[in-house]
A = this chain, B = another copy of it.
Amino acid sequence: MMRVRVIHGPNLNLLGKRDPEVYGSHTLEQINAEIERLAGELDMEVQISQHNSEGEILDAIHACCDWAQCIVINPAAYTHYSIAICDAIKAVRLPAIEIHLSNIHAREEFRHRSVTAPVCVGQIAGFGVSSYLLGLYAARDIIAKRWR
């Protein structure tokens, strides 16, 4: 069974309450339920957590070494400046997929740059909750070495 670690970054605990016109009106609980539903379909085990602290995200990434085959991560605001998360992803040497609910390329200039994307396999941005689901499909293809 494939093992995928899903990490939600800062402020995502407010989802559903926060800028619904940008991020949709689903709560994090609803998103997690949907992730787990699709994971089941894809015969995939998932571990999911959300963290506001950059340090905790580092810890979560480090812990992947012992279990996960792939990381699906939405670094949220940290995307744009956390070189520490960039270094952590690079250090654990696991394939990672960067997820964004909103299309960061259509927002403020400072959100166009991702310091974490260069160490990920790829980036999926702009599809709301679907971004996470697409991330699971991508994780499956990466782990299964499909189309590589």
Contacts and interface: CB of A to CB of B under 8 A. Distances in A.
B51 A10 contact: no
Contacts of A62: 11, 13-14, 52
Interface of A: 10-11, 13-14, 17-19, 24, 26, 34, 51-56, 58-59, 62, 65, 76-78, 80-84, 86-88, 90-93, 100, 103, 105-106, 110-115, 117-131, 133-134, 137-138, 141-142, 146-148
Number of this chain's copies in the assembly equals 12
A57 to B, nearest CB: 9
29 contacts: A10-B58, A11-B62, A11-B87, A11-B91, A14-B88, A18-B91, A24-B147, A52-B84, A54-B54, A55-B56, A76-B84, A77-B82, A77-B84, A81-B83, A83-B110, A83-B111, A103-B117, A103-B121, A105-B114, A106-B117, A120-B126, A123-B123, A124-B125, A127-B141, A127-B142, A128-B148, A130-B146, A130-B147, A134-B134
